[in-house]
Amino acid sequence: MPPTVVGLGEVLWDVFPDQRRPGGAPANVAYHAGVLGNRGVIASRIGDDARGDELRDYLETQGIDCSGLQVDDTHPTGTVQVHMEDGEPSYLITEDVAWDHLTMDEALGALAATTDAVCFSTLSQRDPQTRSTIRAFLDAVPADALRILDVNLRPPHYDGDVLRASIARADVVKCNEHEWDLLGTLVGTDEVDAWLMDAQDIQLVCLTRGAKGSALLTARERIHRPAPEVDASDGDAVGVGDAFLATITHHLLRDASLERMLTAANRYAAYVVTQRGGMPSVPQDVLDAVA
């Protein structure tokens, strides 16, 4: 059986000016993990509505395991209004939606027991209900499972307490360069990398820097690689960091070197930025190059 990679948290519709596309950072990671050859599972919640039905149908047709996808008969399926500004997305995230009310039920308990890696985000924890469920799920995964935190700081949906508690439960932390600067302010340190690895025992830090490339940091090794040059004029940056993180997760589960991980993740992200939305189809030649 391939490794089980769980995207735990939000699944939603990214609503662009011209159309809508499936999204949500943990869901994007689960999608790309599945494309790369793992068992990608979404653990989230949709509304009992037409948008929820359409979202589930799409995810299932893409081969994503929806056994952890709950249905809420009170709250609607999540949406995010996406606007592009100078090539970068900005987000208006609808509040009090289905994924804010994820519960730790029997199905999630069974999923946790079979998990090899779980990706969760800070945004997913904006509501106490889902925050509690995420912590319960993390406590229930096997001791050797990877707990991967996406530091997803979308104002106003974050605070220092949630961030610190999330880092304390993580083995791997991923953030972009803007979030890296903000992270130090939120947790109260000028030495973010030392605090993460020495005080919090984080095994790996993944730092994405857009067109400037990315870096991987451990206590013993630090490498940076530039991003491949691509024509992204017909694509967008939505979900590119999630694709990068899914590739890192894929190779972590196979004990790859940092060099192999970063080269593959940069290559995969460079393809995704040429596409639109967080879950594009991926051609075989790209998969052959990165898997």
Identity at 232, one-letter amino acid code: A
Nearest to 249 by CA among 196, 185, 171: 171
Residue 188 and residue 161 in contact, taking contact as beta carbons nearer than 8 Å: no
Q: What's the rounded mean pLDDT across residues 120-131?
A: 96
Q: Mapping DSSP to helix (H, G, I), strand (E, B) and coil, where does residue 9 land?
A: coil
The Cα 241–Cα 210 span in angstroms is 9
Burial 29-58 (b: 16+ CB within 10 A, else e): bbbbbbbbebbbbbbbbbbebebbeebbee
Higher pLDDT, 113 or 238: 113
Q: Are 130 and 100 in contact (CB under 8 A)?
A: yes
- Amino acid at position 30, single letter: A
Which pLDDT score, from 0 to 100, does residue 77 have?
Answer: 98
> Among residues 199, 122, 112, which one has the least CA distance to residue 166?
122
- Contact indicator for 109, 139 with CB cutoff of 8 Å: no
The three-state secondary structure class of 127 is coil
CA angle 191, 125, 103 (to 5 degrees): 145
What's 280's DSSP letter? -
**Is residue 85 over pLDDT 80?**
no
Q: Once rounded to an integer, what is the mean pLDDT over residues 118-139?
A: 97
The rounded distance, in Å, linking the Cα atoms of 256 and 261 is: 6
Q: Taking the domains of the chain in order of start, what are their residue ranges? A: 4-290
CATH superfamily assigned to domain 4-290: Ribokinase (3.40.1190.20)
* Closest among 178, 218, 167, 174 to 194, alpha carbons compared: 218
Entry pTM: 0.95
- For 18-53, what is each residue's pLDDT tens digit? 889 999 999 999 999 999 999 999 999 999 999 999
Q: Which two three-digit tokens encode residue 81?
A: 């209004």
pLDDT in tens, 62-77: 999 999 999 999 999 9
**H-type alpha helices, 41-114:** 50-61, 106-113
CA 106/CA 112 separation, integer angstroms: 10
